[in-house]
């Protein structure tokens, strides 16, 4: 076990007794939603995972320790601290550990912690990807590189629709990352169920997905897998409307010179404001939906 890793009692017991586990990120708590919805959402995700036969393992860096499994007071701390907590990706982990500092883990960092702890399944909202205009800015999320090299399966509602979805799929194909659609042939677009872009294959049961994960990791291919799970129909937003809102938010970000790790929280915040909170409701619904599917896959695995 890595000397910097700190497991909660629940996670340690689950690993020892070979119970199914699902990793969860913490950036969605500190940077993805306002308080108190962020803490409520985190606790509900953990509850949903337990109800579906698995053990939740929310990840974060606290006091320089790589924490896998958080206590309620730690979730509360991250929720209240918000963006004052460092948004931690792969490049940030070592310096936060050395400084005994705090960090909320992104998709990439959560994959790393999950792999260290021996957890194969991770549920999140949406992954990062190739940003619009990346052909000139080279703004490509570290999430994609992590999927290319860390064998953890990520369940999400597709890539965030603030991104260039076509280029994101092309990048994943280049890196050899399989994109599996759960009950869909198309890449979901986070707030909406379809994007017009095809996934690599469709699977209709958690067991099918679990069997594929087992085969991939058993072959020693050393890459992750992306399982895309469309937002529930009743929570899906109108594609034309949300598309216009996103275009407006991206233009505002460009005008303000916002880029890098600051751009996603800015865009999600602007979209929430313009939609009167409807986008936040959709975001929460799709996170719950992903937690449920991830737990079912973990139990099957």
Q: 160 an active-site residue?
A: yes
Report the b/e string of 148-159 with b at 16+ CB within 10 A. bbbbbbbbbbbb
Residue 147 zone, left/alpha/beta (φ > 0; ψ -120 to 50; rest):
alpha
Name the phi and psi angles at 158, rounded to 5. 90, -170
As a whole number of angstroms, the distance between CA 129 and CA 123 comes to 16
Contacts of 243 (CB under 8 A, 6+ apart): 161
Q: 25 an active-site residue?
A: yes
Name the active-site residue from 25, 46, 76, 146. 25
As a whole number of angstroms, the distance between CA 281 and CA 264 comes to 17
As a whole number of angstroms, the distance between CA 261 and CA 213 comes to 30
Name the active-site residue from 87, 115, 160, 278. 160
> Residue 36: is the preceding peptide bond cis (ω within 30°)?
yes
Active site residues: 25, 160
């Amino acid at each position: 076990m890595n000397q910097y890793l700190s497991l909660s009692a629940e996670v340690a017991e689950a690993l020892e007794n070979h119970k199914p586990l699902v990793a969860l990120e913490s950036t969605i708590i500190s940077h993805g939603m306002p308080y108190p919805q962020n803490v409520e959402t985190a606790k509900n995700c953990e509850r949903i995972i337990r109800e579906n036969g698995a053990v939740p393992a929310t990840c974060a860096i606290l006091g320089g320790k790589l924490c896998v499994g958080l206590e309620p007071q730690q979730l509360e701390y991250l929720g209240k601290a918000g963006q004052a907590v460092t948004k931690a990706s792969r490049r940030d982990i070592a310096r936060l550990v050395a400084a005994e500092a705090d960090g909320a883990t992104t998709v990439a960092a959560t994959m790393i912690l999950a792999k260290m702890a021996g957890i194969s399944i991770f549920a999140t909202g949406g992954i990062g990807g190739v940003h619009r205009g990346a052909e000139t800015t080279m703004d490509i999320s570290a999430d994609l590189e992590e999927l290319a090299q860390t064998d953890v399966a990520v369940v999400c509602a597709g890539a965030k629709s603030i991104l260039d979805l076509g280029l994101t799929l092309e990048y994943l194909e280049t890196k050899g990352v399989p994109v599996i659609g759960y009950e869909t042939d198309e890449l979901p677009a986070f707030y909406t169920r379809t994007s017009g872009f095809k996934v690599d294959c469709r699977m209709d049961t958690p067991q099918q997905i679990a069997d594929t994960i087992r085969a991939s990791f058993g072959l020693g291919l050393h890459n992750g897998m992306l399982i895309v799970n469309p937002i529930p129909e009743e929570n899906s937003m109108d594609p034309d409307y949300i598309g216009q809102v996103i275009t407006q938010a991206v233009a505002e970000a460009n005008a303000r010179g916002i880029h890098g790790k600051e751009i996603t929280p800015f865009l999600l915040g602007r979209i929430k404001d313009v939609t009167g909170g409807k986008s936040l409701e959709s975001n929460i619904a799709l996170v719950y939906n992903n937690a449920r599917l991830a737990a079912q896959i973990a139990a099957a695995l």
